[in-house]
Each structure stands twice: as structure tokens, then as C-alpha cells.
Amino acid sequence: MAAADQKGDYVKDVEPAVDDGELTRFQWTILYLLAREDGQSEYGLGIKRALEAYYGDEVNHGRLYPNLDQLVDAGYIKKGELDNRTNLYELTETGKRLLRRDADRRATIVDSLGGEL
């Protein structure tokens, strides 16, 4: 993820504006990182590196892959295989709709504050 090392592009630990009732902040961060890739698939290690750049700390496999699997099970991302060892992940239409709803809700909040934060 080339853009992931631009830490200033993300706001750390902000609650999502959409309450889906099931996603953690870490999972929301994964969705937003995948959205930054302009619809391109990303492999697991690339997601791991982007999360590490974002958080400024190591993200272990035991945290990353169960969260990716939960996002797959929820239908927000899909998983494909590049080869026998490498999985690719990308947003589904459901995941994109969820992020759009979150962005729309944030825009409504900003508008209610007079258009400024």
C-alpha cells in the first residue's frame, strides 16, 4: 500500500459515524485502508505493513488475519488467492456502501457544525 505510509491521511481512533453494531475500530481501519487502494486488491502482508505504518506499532498475524476473516464473513471484503501462500483482499460492493454511508454521515455532522471542524 503505497499511500499507507502517509500517516497524516488518517485520523487515529475516530469512532465510525455509522453504527453497524459489529465492527471494531481496527476493522474500520482495514476497510478504509482498502478503500485507499482505488479498488485494487491488496495482499495480507501489504495490509499488515499499512496498518503498522498507521498505528506506528507491530500488528501481529494473530490480530490481522482473524479480523480479515471476520470482514470476509460479514461480506465487506472478499478474499482471493494470488498463489498457494498469498491471499488478496478487496472491498465488496457491500463494503463500499458501508464506507459511503459512513462518509455521508460524517458530511452531515460537519454540515451541522457549519461546515467546519
**CA pair distance 21, 19, nearest whole angstrom:** 5
Rounded-to-integer distance, Cα 33 and Cα 18, Å: 17
Residue 64: what residue type? L
Rounded to two decimals, the pTM is 0.74
| Residue 20 in this model has a pLDDT that exceeds 70 | no
In a domain, 71, yes or no: yes
Range of the structural domain that residue 31 is part of = 23-112
**Residue 8 covered by a domain:** no
47-54 CB contacts, 8 Å cutoff, 24+ apart: 47/1, 47/89, 49/1, 49/4, 50/1, 50/4, 50/5, 51/4, 51/26, 53/4, 53/5, 53/7, 54/4, 54/7, 54/10, 54/12, 54/29
* 2 pLDDT more than 80: no
pLDDT at residue 82 in the model: 83
Residue 17: inside a domain: no
Domain membership flag for residue 7 = no
**CATH code of the domain in which 52 resides:** 1.10.10.10
Residue 5 included in any domain: no
For residue 27, is it within any domain? Answer: yes
Is a pLDDT exceeding 50 seen at residue 14?
no
pLDDT in tens, 30-87: 999 999 866 667 889 999 999 999 999 999 999 999 999 999 999 999 999 888 889 9
Which has the higher per-residue pLDDT, 17 or 115? 115
78, part of any domain: yes
Residue 83 in any domain: the answer is: yes
Number of domains in the chain: 1
pLDDT at 109 over 70: yes
Q: How high is the pLDDT of residue 37?
A: 63
Residue 87 amino acid letter? N
